[in-house]
Structure 1
Amino acid sequence: MNIINLYCWFASLFIPIHQPDIDSVYLSWNDVTLYALNNRMIRATDSPSDRQFYTDQMESLAKRRQLVPGEIIKSSARYVFLRHLKQDLPDFSESFFIVELERRGEVNISYKFVLDCIDTTHSLLYGFKENNGKWEKIFSKDVKLHINKDLNQQHIKRFQGINRDEIIATYFEKGKAVSAEYFRDRTISGNSFLIELIANYFPSYSKK
């Protein structure tokens, strides 16, 4: 090995494995979320109240500067979370889910659950909680879930589901958000892997 090849080899040891930049992940995440909300609004043909709900959600996210089409808002909860995630969990697999849940009350509390799909039988689940604009890891564990990447199949008619909170689930592949689904309360089937996932932190989601 000559000196030039030796130098190139040595330098390569310090070059990190390529990871998509936060900006592109953030934009793709927002794009699929807006698509999911718009799709739900279009489908609510027999319920004017549902159509209005999804319209209001999109407008609220924009007004609060949390989700604006094509715009990078570095102060938004999602961008701050991605920055934290890159620092806390740099070695992610190419396939993962992010499930967002907000507990509403006198003080709204935001949670994000990250499911890192190692292979078909082995996944790692991480839970994060927002505290004063910062994200903190609250647990991590190995889990075995029957994962269905088609998030639309997890959605059922309102009041037939068992989720108590509004939830956004997003599937990522190769550093890009591929699909998302927006779930109003009571629209996720009790048999969904999303319910099993959330039940790892919220026992009230466990099957009775």
Structure 2
Amino acid sequence: MEELLYKNDIDIETFSGGKKGIPQGACGLLAAVGDFSLDALLKSAMCLQYRGRIGAGVTLKGIYKDNSFYVFHIMYRSQHKVSELEHVINSWGVHILESQDLVAKRYYYEYDLPIIKRYFVTPPTLEEMMYRGKIKDDYVYIMKHVAKFNKDFMDDARIFSSSKENGTFLTAFELTDIIKIYDLPKYEQEYYEACLIHLRWPTS
């Protein structure tokens, strides 16, 4: 009986299916709600990296909860496009209060990264949203414009996080690289409502 069990054992790659053990685009997914350690979750999710061959991302629900603004995380394909596309965002009637580099400069030398920036943004007034789009809800207004931006400027940029409370951190690299590039351990002491870790590109 023991010999039969060993004989029928199959390795992880075979069990996962696909031509080479895992089909292209396979996902690894880990989620937690409530009180948890971010460090422990990140380490747990690394066990799934064998499935996510084309990128990874971490979404933290509540990372910006003490903020009354929308927070955009944006990738730009070229530095030359940044000012032009910031002007596009301003044309929505929103106000960019502050912009920051989301990634330390040294990682642009170590990795083939797009330009990644964070913006703190206030939505238009109710009157302006009604005038521009007959929309009363600022969440719907922002969502509509972000979706249009990502469609219109697909080859130039991508808004991959756009929430008042939540933040997504992603690249086309592996989870260990995400943790390093965004310095996620610095957020360990924060309290989050939930966390989603997705081992595949894209996550947002």
Q: TM-score, normalised by structure 2?
A: 0.25
TM-score, length of structure 1 as denominator length: 0.25
- The higher relative CO (CA closer than 8 Å, separation ≥ 6) is in 2
